[in-house]
Amino acid sequence: MLTLDNHLANIINNYILLAKVNKQQAFDDLVKDEQTLNFLANRFGSVELQNALAQLDQDCNNESNLSLSQSLKHGKEPVNSTSTFEKNLKHSLKSFEDSDSDDDDKSGWEETQALYEELWKRKRQTEEQSIKESHQKKEKKSNVVPICQDYRVGFCRYENIAHIGKCKFRHEGKRPTNFAFTLTPATPSEDQTWRTKFVQAFEGGNVTVTSIQKIENKTLETMYKLKSEEIRNRRKIEEISNFEPYLYHGTTEQALNSIMTYGINIPSDYKADPTCPVSGKLPISICKNDCKLCTQARHCWGNCHMYGLGAYFADKSVKSDRYVYDTNGAKDHKTGRKMLVCKLFPGKVKTIDTHLNKQDQHHDDILPPSGYDSVFAKGLGSNAKVGFSVINSEFIIFHPYQCLPLYLITYNKA
Ligand SMILES: [Zn+2]
Ligand SMILES: [Zn+2]
Ligand SMILES: [Zn+2]
């Protein structure tokens, strides 16, 4: 049975032996070993101990260390150099032995050797275990679904696409869950500005604004900022416009809450089930692929999306008014009509200012043309050809966080 001090003496011996074969290891182990450090500090003062440790640290940096396993492998003698540290430790051990010479229980050299062997055995076991674990981890990883390359700023375009190409990959970095919005009356100056703009952009239509509310959603603001940064980092500065237009968006009343909470919906490529509470009143589903109601029957061209399956915005409120539905899916209600004003980050814009070759030329586009971040379909006014070009301009995005909803306008039509 070893006394505590004898046990410490053995440990110190181990450090001396360890320092002979691997100084770095001895140093690393010792600086973590508070009990031994305290003992040594008591024996020959903390200043001397600090000097000895500094000396060992220096030795570690200056000399190449030969680890025990290396020396066994190459049949070489471990590096045998005497450092101040070693001398100090030996001195400490000596003084310890002198003062405790009457202790019968003092361990012999064999016992020290055995402890030393035990130390290395444990170290080898730990190393073998960690190698085994890292192999197991690697095997496990190879069975895991690869990371999706299309998942950018919390959205993968293929997550609600069932026919044109489903996403089979893993989405790293989840989107936030703390989406929430507040609606407050716009300030008198904002109110005045948007009443005027809205009525002007209605182009003489008999319309009365009843309220302008400000939408605030901190999480959406963050996502919008992240998305614009992601585009800025990917594009050359001269390629993108820093102009962030304020545009109108008309939709079903039942979709408004979801848009103000989670951001604009990017349509899927399948039909909406009439009983679906989210997409039911829409011609196309805006649900994710996991919606139990939307049947996933493909949505096909029906004089609808001229510039692809994206979210559409207009600079004319009269244009967006055509897409305003009430909760019953009717468009002809005269009072309490609601429309959004959103800020857009268009990035690199593909402008289409000619007639399409075919009416459904771009219908199934689920992304902007390669190399672009959004589409601008220029209104051709009286030169527009129905189904091939538009009278009023349209802006189309395919990522929800390129849009930030800012105001909710309620109005009546005569
Ligand atoms: Zn994906
Ligand atoms: Zn649905
Ligand atoms: Zn369509």
What is the pLDDT at residue 241?
A: 81
| Dist CA 368 CA 349 (whole Å) | 9
**What was the pLDDT predicted at 59?**
61
Please tell me the distance between residue 289's alpha carbon and the centre of ligand 2 in angstroms: 8
Does residue 372 carry a pLDDT above 70? yes
Per-residue pLDDT of 58-88, as tens digits, reads 666 654 444 433 433 444 444 444 455 556 6
Ligand that lies nearest to the alpha carbon of residue 310, given by its number in the listed order:
3
Lowest-confidence pick of 100-114, 208-222, 333-347: 100-114
Q: Which residues surround ligand 3, an ion (CB under 5 A)?
A: 304-305
Q: What percent of the chain has pLDDT over 90?
A: 45
**Beta-carbon neighbours within 5 Å of ion ligand 2:** 276, 279, 287, 291, 293-294
Q: What is the 3-state secondary structure (H, E, C) of the chain?
A: CCCHHHHHHHHHHHHHHHHHHCHHHHHHHHHHCHHHHHHHHHHHCHHHHHHHHHHHHHHHHHCCCCCHHHHHHHCCCCCCCCCHHHHHHHHHHHHHHHHCCCCCCCCCHHHHHHHHHHHHHHHHHHHHHHHHHHHHHHHHHHCCCCECCCEECCEEHHHHCCCCCCCCCECCCCCCCCCCCEEEECCHHHHHHHHHHHHHCCCCCCEEEEEEEEEECHHHHHHHHHHHHHHHHHCCCCCCCCCCCEEEECCEHHHHHHHHHHCCCCCCCECCCCCCCCCCCCCCCCCCCCCCCCCCCECCCCCCCCCCCCEEEECCHHHHHHHCECCCCCCCCCCCEEEEEEEECCCCEEEECCCCCCCCCCCCCCCCCCCCCEEEECCCHHHCCCCCCCCCCEEEECCHHHEEEEEEEEEEEC
What's the CA-to-centroid distance between 367 and ligand 3, angstroms? 14
Distance 199 CA to ligand 3 centre (A): 29
Contact (CB, 8 A) for 313 and 249: yes
- Asked if 316 contacts 201 with a C-beta cutoff of 8 angstroms, the reply is yes
Phi first, then psi: give them for residue 71, nearest 5 degrees.
-65, -35
Q: Amino acid identity of 357?
A: N
User: From ligand 1's centre to the CA of 398, what distance in Å?
Assistant: 14
pLDDT digits (tens, 9 = 90+) for 243-295: 899 999 999 888 899 999 999 999 999 999 988 888 887 889 988 888 889 88
Q: How many angstroms separate the Cα of 394 from the Cα of each of 4, 10, 357, 379? A: 83, 82, 18, 7
Contacts of 186 (CB under 8 A, 6+ apart): 194, 212, 213, 214, 407
Domain ranges of the chain: 4-142, 169-413
CA 224 – ligand 1 centroid, Å: 19
Q: Is the pLDDT of residue 130 over 50?
A: yes
Q: Report residue 224 as tokens.
A: 């919008």
Distance CA 138, CA 145 (A): 13
Say how many Å lie between the CA of residue 171 and the centre of ligand 1: 6
Q: Ligand 3 centroid to 116 CA: how many Å?
A: 77
Q: What spacing in Å lies between the alpha carbon of 266 and ligand 2's midpoint?
A: 13
Ligand 2 centre from 327 Cα, in Å? 16
How high is the pLDDT of residue 412? 97
Provide mean pLDDT across the span 335-359: 96
pLDDT of residue 196: 96
CA gap 397, 411 in Å, rounded: 26
What's the CATH code, domain 169-413?
3.90.228.10
Average pLDDT (47-52) is: 67
**Residue 305 burial (CB < 10 Å; 0-12/13-18/19+)?**
buried
Taking only Cα atoms into account, the Rg of the chain, rounded to an integer number of angstroms, comes to 37
CA of 104 to the centre of ligand 2 (A): 84
Q: Which ligand is nearest to the Cα of residue 159, counting in written order? A: 1
What ligand is nearest to the CA atom of residue 302?
3
Give yes or no for residue 194 having a pLDDT over 90: yes
How many A from CA of 284 to the centre of ligand 3? Answer: 7
350-368: pLDDT as tens digits: 999 999 999 999 999 999 9
